[in-house]
Structure 1
């Protein structure tokens, strides 16, 4: 879905309404830069911890997939993650000690496959709604109203935020 000829364009994407196209354009660019930041990393580099409180690059990559999946469930299905889904995604959502203990020993293709699987589902789900859907409001953090547009902005804003951590960890892991 990422059209490398249009990676620097926030523009229409065939099959999607205008605002959803723009949102997906921004998500695609964020993912493009994430992929560049993790290119060719080894298992040891993906598992590297700066200290006992840090997250690994692998855990952060799986966190991206988990956050996106959780927002799919929340915004398209109107529910929280089930116990079964929390078993799968919980360590990546929570990170910290749980993430350090559970998310390790995987090669880069493992993380990229999870990211791609979740993103493909996002593309399919966004094809079923229009721009009006983005303005659906519900209670969000701290009992404040938010719309789906903001929630999906947060999905890639979280990725961009953690990508800075990935770049720092990568520098240290390769030093």
Structure 2
């Protein structure tokens, strides 16, 4: 019963975060109260550490996921479809495609770590929805366009909701368990999920650069 209640609370937080993002037409300053983070509250966005409903290390990871998600949404608030489709040149990525890519990355790490499946062992539905976005490149430039911000937010929120629900079921031993066969070499689940966080940080820089070039 408590687990069901936690899931409902997380769903409410995610929905509120989306509404707050889409309602604002301008960037927030650091002095402005932050967006409602997924799975957290307005009061603890800058507190990295254990969180209620999670084991200590898992909660610390979730706090980093919340903070980074808030940061990457700041540059895209109020963007039009035209802005989201803007290409700096014919080899560049659009902000819309990269938002989709972030949802795809998180989804595929869910499959790997929560379902204990090999990389590229995706269900047909996941491959169809997220395969192009994961690869980016020419295929993404050709097909990921013409969508409003709500389109990308739905995917980011839906995937994140599943992450939070699944992470609440797991403990620190799971987070620290090591995959000996990972391409990077021995890698634990903590490193894989930290990569999901820093991957968003990487694209955040691209968002800001592209936004500075939009006339």
Same fold per superposition (TM over 0.5): yes
Greater RCO, CA 8 A, separation 6+: 1
* Residue number in structure 2 paired with 1:58: 96
* Residue number in structure 1 paired with 2:172: 131
* Residue number in structure 1 paired with 2:29: none
* Residue number in structure 2 paired with 1:115: 156
* Residue number in structure 1 paired with 2:205: 164
Q: 1:141 aligns with which of 170, 176, 183?
A: 183
SS at match of 2:187: strand
**Structure 1 residues 121-160: Cα deviation after superposition (integer angstroms, max 9, x where no partner):** 0000001100100112112224x11010000000011110
Gaps of 5+ in 1: none
Distance in 1 of aligned mates of 2:70 and 2:208: 14
**Structure of larger gyration radius:** 2
**Structure 1 residues 51-77: Cα deviation after superposition (integer angstroms, max 9, x where no partner):** 111110000001110000000000010
Q: How far has the Cα of 1:12 moved from its partner?
A: 2.1
SS at match of 1:101: helix
TM-score (norm 1): 0.95
SS at match of 1:129: coil
Higher share of residues assigned helix: 1
Q: Does 1:22 align with 2:60?
A: yes
Distance in 2 of aligned mates of 1:168 and 1:4: 28
RMSD of aligned Cα (Å)? 1.0
Aligned pair count? Answer: 173
Judged with a 3 Å threshold, the aligned counterparts in structure 2 of structure 1 residues 167 and 2 are, in CA distance, closer, same or farther, namely farther
* Residue number in structure 1 paired with 2:105: 67
- Structure 1 consecutive aligned stretches of length 4 or more whose deviation exceeds 3 Å: none
